[in-house]
């Protein structure tokens, strides 16, 4: 088979034609916007319920360390949720202007997406997420162990599990980051290679 035949074979495939009129598209965008609004309201409601529950939870503890630990945990989770949300938005073209899709070359666009992913899993953003997430549970556990010495053994087990989870998260994230980095290197090589 010659290359022209390969092109003819490719272009001659039967395609399942998708027919969308501009009006269909407007309706669909409208539906998507409504769905996004509903999801946002749902998310805000859940956040509100979580915050209310957390403050109620705070009133259960007299111990200062447990209270500070709980507040820091809430702050850490909120920060993590915000980072994940902004990362998801960045992954989608809908997060930026649609016109930029036509103005950006495929290589630049791909590089930008991969860089965003890589930085989510390593570097400042990743360590900041970890740093903000750790102190809350640690303080809470110390406070809890001090207030309830009779369950100190259980607390130690919980602390070890928490530490193991954190330790496991580091190589997992770094592995993902290096996978994105490899793809970025591939793009660089591609641009250099002639």
Binding site for other proteins (CB under 8 A): 1-3, 5-7, 9-11, 13, 15-18, 20, 22, 25, 28-29, 32, 91-93, 97-110, 113-114, 117, 176, 183, 186-187, 190-191, 193-194
Angle at 39 between CA 33 and CA 41, to 5 degrees: 105
Residue 129 CB contacts under 8 Å (≥ 6 apart), including other chains:
79, 80, 83
Q: Please say which residue, 6 or 151, places its beta carbon nearer to other proteins.
A: 6
Q: Please say which residue, 61 or 109, places its beta carbon nearer to other proteins.
A: 109
CA distance 45 to 167: 32
**Nearest-approach distance from CB 89 to other proteins, in angstroms:** 11
Q: Where are the alpha helices (DSSP H) in the chain?
A: 3-11, 22-59, 64-91, 98-103, 106-121, 123-133, 135-147, 152-192
**Nearest-approach distance from CB 79 to other proteins, in angstroms:** 23
Q: Please say which residue, 1 or 60, places its beta carbon nearer to other proteins.
A: 1
Q: Sign of the C-alpha dihedral, residues 98, 99, 100, 106?
A: positive
**Nearest-approach distance from CB 42 to other proteins, in angstroms:** 21
**Nearest-approach distance from CB 166 to other proteins, in angstroms:** 21
Q: Please say which residue, 150 or 193, places its beta carbon nearer to other proteins.
A: 193
């Amino acid at each position: 088979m010659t290359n022209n035949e390969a092109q003819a074979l490719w272009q001659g495939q039967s395609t399942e034609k998708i027919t969308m009129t501009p009006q269909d598209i407007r309706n669909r965008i409208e539906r998507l916007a409504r769905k996004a609004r509903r999801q946002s309201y749902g998310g805000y409601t859940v956040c509100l319920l979580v915050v209310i529950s957390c403050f109620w939870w705070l009133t259960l503890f007299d111990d200062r360390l447990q209270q500070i630990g709980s507040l820091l945990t809430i702050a850490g989770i909120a920060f993590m949720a915000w980072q994940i949300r902004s990362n998801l938005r960045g992954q989608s073209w809908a997060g930026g202007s649609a016109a930029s899709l036509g103005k950006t070359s495929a290589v630049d666009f791909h590089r930008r997406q991969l860089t965003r992913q890589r930085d989510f899993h390593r570097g400042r953003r990743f360590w900041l997420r970890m740093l903000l997430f750790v102190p809350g549970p640690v303080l809470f556990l110390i406070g809890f162990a001090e207030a309830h010495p009779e369950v100190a053994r259980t607390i130690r087990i919980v602390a070890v599990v928490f530490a193991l989870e954190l330790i496991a998260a580091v190589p997992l994230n770094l592995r993902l980051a290096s996978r994105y980095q490899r793809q970025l290197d591939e793009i660089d090589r591609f641009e250099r290679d002639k």
